[in-house]
Amino acid sequence: MSEIAGNVSKMAVSLVDESGLASYEMVLGEHRQQMNKLIGQTITLRFQGEINCHACNRLTKKSFSGGYCFPCSQNLAQCDLCIMRPETCHYAAGTCREPEWGEQFCMQDHIVYLANSSGVKVGITRINQVPTRWIDQGATQALPIFRVKTRLQSGLVEVIFKNHVSDRTDWRKMLKGEAEPLDLLEIRQTLMMACADEITALQEQFGPEAITALDNETILDIRYPVEQYPEKVKSLNFDKTPEITGTLKGIKGQYLILDTGVLNMRKFTGYHVSLGTA
């Protein structure tokens, strides 16, 4: 391949076919590079010293909130704390910084799900982000359990389940190998019984049509293009090492697994980077 360069966006992901294999494309500005076919090859990524805000494109010396300049990180609704804590969504209170954006992002159907990446976890995602969200997290199994009408409601359901299972992924454990398969259907049933009263209370508050249990979903199994997992996870960082070279051993979540370490591409959104092969 010839060298490509541009501002980093998170890798584009999809499932190849019914086999459940995740497919990855590196996104650098207007350029895209299919990454699965580069596994086994030596690649070089060079940070070229410029960072552009993911929202306004202005140059910034430092990236905030996952790819934004400081003013945007302070002013945009998508950088608000409620994005990390959806149960605090305040769109309905009329205090959203960008109501039109909130309408498109928060006031849409969401899925509450169980996933297995480094063990069972509960999470939420917009319905149009299935299965992207699960691939981005490196989940090897995923099971939708509720469909809800708004981000706030999905967050409230998630909080109930967080009292019983984690809502986080241990990224180091996720990158060390495949998660032990779990019976997510059985786990779902146990959680539904444990949380029944609280879920019923939410349905009474918002209406039964707002929070719908998904009783007939099947577990989605996801495979990742990984030839070899690292024995020890060493994190690579463009701020410390502007030029990163190594043999690409695999891709999982938003991480490139190199023989020299692992690189979280999403972390460096907005960085101007080139990609080439030896």
Beta pairing class for 271-277 and 4-15:
antiparallel
Does residue 1 have a pLDDT over 70? no
**pLDDT-wise least confident of 13-22, 198-207, 231-240:** 13-22
- pLDDT-based confidence at 18, cuts 50/70/90? confident
Q: What percent of the chain has pLDDT over 70?
A: 100
Instruction: Give the percent of the chain with pLDDT over 90.
Output: 95
* DSSP H helices in the chain: 70-75, 99-105, 132-136, 151-162, 171-174, 184-194, 196-206
Mean pLDDT over 208-233 rounds to 95
Long-range contact set of residues 127-133: C-beta below 8 Å, sequence gap at least 24? 131/15, 131/220, 131/222, 132/13, 132/14
Mind listing the pLDDT tens digit for each residue in 127-169?
Answer: 999 999 999 999 999 999 999 999 999 999 999 999 999 999 9
Starting at the edge strand found earlier in the chain, the sheet holding 42-51 runs 31-34, 22-28, 4-15, 271-277, 42-51, 243-252, 255-258, 261-264
Write down the domain spans for the chain. 4-67+252-277
Mean pLDDT for the chain overall: 95
Condensed to tens digits (0 to 9), the pLDDT of residues 31-75 reads 999 999 999 999 999 999 999 999 999 999 999 988 999 999 999
Q: What is the pLDDT of residue 19?
A: 83
pLDDT (0 to 100) of residue 231: 93
Q: Which of 10-19, 137-146, 224-233 has the lowest mean pLDDT?
A: 10-19
Would the pLDDT of 261 be above 70?
Answer: yes
Residue 208: per-residue pLDDT: 85
In the chain the first and final C-alpha atoms are separated, in Å, by: 9
* pLDDT exceeds cutoff 80 at 13: yes
**Cα 209 to Cα 148: distance, rounded to the nearest angstrom:** 8
